[in-house]
């Protein structure tokens, strides 16, 4: 297969997942400020770091797909 790119519906689903992960990241980051339990803060910080990594990976897929549709 010559052109291995995301289909339109896959691009839209990637966009939805990207939005969902971004909202979760913001929620975890905001909750850290009002949380007094250090174990819970550490867990939320781990979630923040994993979410950032996932968002960066998803952004790569989304940018590539958008580039392919603009051609």
Predicted local distance difference test score (pLDDT) of residue 37 = 94
Rounded Cα distance, 58 and 43, in Å: 22
Predicted local distance difference test score (pLDDT) of residue 71 = 64
Predicted local distance difference test score (pLDDT) of residue 1 = 43
Global confidence as pTM: 0.76
Tens of pLDDT along the chain (71 residues) come to: 455 677 888 888 888 999 999 999 999 999 999 999 999 999 999 999 999 999 999 888 777 776 666 66
Contact partners, residue 5, CB within 8 Å, separation at least 6? 64, 65, 68
């Amino acid at each position: 297969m010559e052109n291995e790119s995301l289909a339109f519906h896959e691009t839209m689903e990637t966009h939805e997942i990207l939005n969902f992960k971004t909202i979760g990241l913001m929620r975890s980051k905001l909750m850290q400020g009002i949380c007094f339990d250090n174990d819970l803060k550490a867990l939320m910080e781990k979630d923040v770091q994993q979410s950032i990594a996932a968002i960066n990976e998803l952004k790569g897929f989304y940018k590539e797909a958008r580039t392919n549709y603009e051609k």
